[in-house]
Amino acid sequence: MTRFGRWLAGHVVLVVGLLVLLYLCVPVLVVILMSFNDPASRNSYTFDGFTLDNWLNICDPYQLCSSVSLSLRIGLLATLAATVLGTLMAFAMVRHRFRGRSAANLLVFLPMATPEIVMGSSLLALFVNAGFAAQLGFWTILVAHVLFCLSFVVVTVKARLAGLDPALEQAAADLYANEWQTFWRVSFPLVFPGILAAALLSFSLSFDDFIITNLNAGQEVTFPMFVWGAAQRGIPPQINVIGTIMFVLALTAVLLGELGSRRRAARR
Amino acid sequence: MTAAAHLPGAETPDGPEIQPRGARRGLTGYVLLLPGGLWLALFFVVPTVVLVATSLYDPSGSLQLGYRMTGHWQNYVDAVRDYSDQILRSLLYALAATGAAILLGYPLAYAIAFKAGRWKNLMLVAVIAPFFTSFLVRTLSWQYLLGDNELIVSALQWLNVLGEGGRLMNTPFAVVTGLTYNFLPFMVLPLYASLEKIDHRLVEAAADLYASPATAFRLVTLRLSMPGLVAGSLLTFIPSAGDYINAQLLGSPNTRMVGNEIQALFGAGDYPTASALSVALMVTIVTMVAIYVRRAGTEDLL
């Protein structure tokens, strides 16, 4: 009985876990389903009929595609800047001695512990007080996005770097490599998976952000802001097409990465 | 910021700082740290100071006429008095979402760590899969799932759990469901990370010493997973308390949270009150987090 009880207990946890996983994944399935919806009216968010029209006319809703393009541009630039700045900081924090280490740790940690609404409002307070109230737009969004991505990059790259043996770099130095060569030939390739993960995380944080962006965007409209506006007026099914495309692209990237790392592991 | 010193990433402020193994001396460290550090100082530290300053401006000013700094503490009294309902509601919803995320997230993290076998990686990908598509688009799909004539409501009406004409959309339940859903992965991932590290022989040793499975779980597994549980609760509670997307898209005027009001006040140009409300929210959250971390006894674990 106890053995059977334990077996059952084990599988109950697994079944509950799978149900929770279902709760996490059902909304994504709804997004995919709704991308084929043929809505009866603007205000109803029910599945009224199957159509391919949304996929064929993605850019029909006014401003939808321009908002996606803005989010892509901001996402790419913010990812680039945050990844470079954050990787440098992570290297300093793991591989170098400096004074004020705890202050630096705190400075990196605090933005992650601040609610978005507070971070967004303080940035807005800064921009307005500095006289940039009329210039809110592309550059203020970019500044904000680099800020909230930066901490996540530092933490991700630090975790990867902390797992690497510094002896590898010392060995390179013993073999007469200078700091530059050591970095590009030894450290960078080893840390690269961490940097890549940090960049992907940054991009998805940036592409997804609404609360901070909405406060600092001025007249610009990013994709999440478009969705927000649409939710007040009637939701065009095309936003679900964009959601589905993003999902498929990201899933493909993750699965390819997984496949690549398995192949590399097999070769070793 | 006394609370922050106890959170992960922060090290002990007193005593000599522990430098990592193999750390190099010299200027390079400072040079690498400078650009990112400046960015954080200029766009995080300075704005926080400006926000506090703005919260003390004379509220009779405006964006066009300019504000006078008058040390107007009355802004805080007004903000907390006028919006106490929304502040309390935010904390209540965030607590409910955190509790629900623990109840749902713990079995899932446990199943991935100990029961998934070779499906472990696939299940982890499924946990982060929702992130692959937009937060707002996902939240909107709850409008469909909890809609009046859809499956869930019909089933609950058939079971008489919901009365005739009973709804889920535009209720506090819908808002908490959305919050739980949106932040659940932030609960599952740290929990999984700390569960996965547990040496299973410790649980077996407890069983050998005649602990029932429940006692072994309570005294060994649960205690060793506390750092993950605390980290997960913070990662769920903090963003939930500041969120207003779920309240707006799934709730009604009766479920407005403090985030809705801060956003609306900034939109209306009332910067002093908006800033005071924002600072009040931050102070409340930091206080609650400090008490929680102390109570959970995880200061040294983190």
Residue B289 lies in a domain: yes
Interface check for A173 against chain B (CB to CB < 8 A): the answer is no
The ipTM assigned to this model is 0.87
Q: Mind telling me how many Å the CA of A180 is from chain B's nearest CA?
A: 12
Q: Which helix (H) or strand (E) holds A168?
A: helix A166-174
Q: Is the pLDDT of residue B258 over 80?
A: yes
Nearest residue to A147 via CA among B193, B46, B246: B46
Q: Mind telling me how many Å the CA of A193 is from chain B's nearest CA?
A: 17
Q: At B296, phi and psi to the nearest 5?
A: -70, -10
Q: Which residues of B touch A170 (CB under 8 A)?
A: 22
Residue A55 lies in a domain: no
**Chain segment A77-91, per-residue pLDDT in tens:** 999 999 999 999 999
Nearest residue to A108 via CA among B44, B190, B73, B1: B44
Residue B176 lies in a domain: yes
Residue A39 lies in a domain: no
Q: Give whole-number Cα distances, A168 to A177, B22, B140, B213, in Å.
A: 12, 11, 50, 45
* B2 confidence band (pLDDT: 50, 70, 90): very low
Q: Mind telling me how many Å the CA of A18 is from chain B's nearest CA?
A: 7
Chain-wide mean pLDDT for chain B? 86
* A28 confidence band (pLDDT: 50, 70, 90): very high
Please state the rounded mean pLDDT for residues B219-223: 90
Residue A48 lies in a domain: no
Report how many domains make up chain B: 1
Interface check for A53 against chain B (CB to CB < 8 A): the answer is no
Residue A52 lies in a domain: no
| CATH number for A172 | 1.10.3720.10
Whether residue B23 contacts residue A101, with contact meaning beta carbons closer than 8 Å, is answered with no
Q: Is the pLDDT of residue A76 over 60?
A: yes
Report how many domains make up chain A: 1
Residue A107 lies in a domain: yes
Residue B24 lies in a domain: no
Is A92–B28 a contact, with Cβ atoms under 8 angstroms apart? yes
Interface check for A208 against chain B (CB to CB < 8 A): the answer is yes
Interface check for A11 against chain B (CB to CB < 8 A): the answer is yes
Residue A143 lies in a domain: yes
Rounded Cα–Cα distance for residues B149 and B17 (Å): 61
Please state the rounded mean pLDDT for residues A143-160: 94
Please state the rounded mean pLDDT for residues B68-83: 85
Nearest residue to A128 via CA among B278, B62, B276, B279: B62
Interface check for A224 against chain B (CB to CB < 8 A): the answer is yes
Nearest residue to A81 via CA among B114, B39, B17: B39
For B99, the domain range is 83-267+274-295
Please state the rounded mean pLDDT for residues A177-199: 89
Torsion of CA B1, B7, B12, B14, to 10 degrees: 10
Q: Give whole-number Cα distances, B208 to A219, B154, B200, B201, B205, in Å.
A: 67, 49, 13, 10, 5
Alpha helices in A209-237 (DSSP H): 211-216, 223-233
Q: Residue A109, by phi and psi: left (phi above 0), alpha (psi -120 to 50) or beta?
A: alpha
Whether residue B276 contacts residue B79, with contact meaning beta carbons closer than 8 Å, is answered with yes
* B138 confidence band (pLDDT: 50, 70, 90): very high
For A97, the domain range is 62-235
Minimum CA–CA partner of A258 in chain B = B121
Q: Residue B210, by phi and psi: left (phi above 0), alpha (psi -120 to 50) or beta?
A: left
Whether residue B108 contacts residue B127, with contact meaning beta carbons closer than 8 Å, is answered with yes
Nearest to B25 among A28, A97, A101 (CB): A97
Please state the rounded mean pLDDT for residues B218-223: 90
Structure-block tokens of residue A3: 């053995």
Rounded Cα–Cα distance for residues A39 and A210 (Å): 26
- Give the count of Cβ contacts less than 8 A between chain A and B: 309
Residue B27 lies in a domain: no
Alpha helices in B111-148 (DSSP H): 120-128, 135-145
Is B37–A107 a contact, with Cβ atoms under 8 angstroms apart? yes
pLDDT of residue B13: 43
Higher pLDDT, B5 or B181: B181
| CATH number for B99 | 1.10.3720.10
**Chain segment A88-114, per-residue pLDDT in tens:** 999 999 888 888 888 898 899 899 889
Residue A77 lies in a domain: yes
Residue B214 lies in a domain: yes
Is B131–A111 a contact, with Cβ atoms under 8 angstroms apart? no
Looking at residue B19, the DSSP 8-state letter turns out to be P
Is B51–A14 a contact, with Cβ atoms under 8 angstroms apart? no
Q: Is the pLDDT of residue B298 over 80?
A: no
Nearest to B9 among A27, A109, A118 (CB): A109
* B9 confidence band (pLDDT: 50, 70, 90): very low
Is B126–A116 a contact, with Cβ atoms under 8 angstroms apart? no
Structure-block tokens of residue A15: 């079944």
DSSP structure string for B149-171 = TSHHHHHHHHTTSSPTT---TTS
Residues 57-116 of A with CB under 8 A from B: 85-86, 88-89, 91-99, 101-102, 104-111, 113-116
Please state the rounded mean pLDDT for residues A209-229: 94
Structure-block tokens of residue A98: 């400096």
Whether residue A183 contacts residue A161, with contact meaning beta carbons closer than 8 Å, is answered with no
Residue A158 lies in a domain: yes
